[in-house]
Amino acid sequence: MDEPNGYEEQQNPIDDDTQTLGNLSGATQEDVEILLETQDDSDSGDLVSQLTAERDEYLKALQLTKADFDNFRRRTARLETEAAEKKVVGLLEKLLPSLDDLNSLVNHMIGTEDEILISKTVPPLFATLATEGLKLIDEVQVPFDPQLHQAVVHEPGEDSPVVSEIFRLGYSWKGKILRPAMVKVVG
């Protein structure tokens, strides 16, 4: 007699007269064929249909579990990506005043003897941030876009509104506007 392994074996009563079948979930193909040979035709048909139904039930449960796990994995990856992007956006928003100061410093130092020092440090910083997805909104003579620009001065004109001057740079990161540019609009 086998020693108990802590798991109760489930009996699959197929026929009251057939107690030799026991648990078929661990049976091999050869075991099933031997059992089928010992049964008469009517019992073997019932056995085959029961085994087929049990197999289909296990297959369906496995497919559902696999699909649930795949969905969980995709959802987790998406949430991790979104969380990382939120952290980067938060950091960039905290850095915007410092970036404004650096940009003002560069503009103020043009034509001075410190221009070389500033030009070797600040533009590479902006270039590095640009490679990571930070984009300056600093174009003039472009059509006014209320999503990209915040108009603080408006001068009348004959044409459609155009950005004529930038008072404060705007920034976007990977297509998301962090801060619109503060501009003067003509038109």
Residue 51 lies in a domain: no
Residue 171 lies in a domain: yes
- Domain around 174: 134-187
Stated pTM of the model: 0.57
Contact 181, 169 (CB under 8 A): yes
Is 59's pLDDT higher than 80?
A: yes
From residue 132, alpha-carbon distances to 93, 102, 149, 168 in Å are: 15, 18, 22, 22
Q: What is the CATH number of the domain that holds 155?
A: 2.30.22.10
Q: Which residues contact 77 (CB under 8 A, 6 or more apart)?
A: none
* Average pLDDT for 53-69: 94
Average pLDDT, the chain: 79
pLDDT at 31: 67
pLDDT at 62: 95
The structure tokens 């509104």 sit at 161
Residue 85 lies in a domain: no
Q: pLDDT tens digit string along 19-58? A: 444 455 556 667 666 665 665 555 667 888 889 999 999 9
Contact 179, 96 (CB under 8 A): yes
Residue 151 lies in a domain: yes
Residue 114 lies in a domain: no
Residue 127 lies in a domain: no
Residue 157 lies in a domain: yes
- In this structure, how many other beta carbons lie within 10 angstroms of the beta carbon of residue 111? 6
pLDDT at 33: 67
Q: pLDDT tens digit string along 5-26? A: 444 444 444 444 444 444 555 5
* CA–CA separation, 132 and 89 (whole Å): 12
The total number of structural domains in the chain stands at 1
Q: pLDDT tens digit string along 83-132? A: 998 998 888 889 888 888 888 887 777 777 777 777 777 778 888 888 88
Residue 12 lies in a domain: no
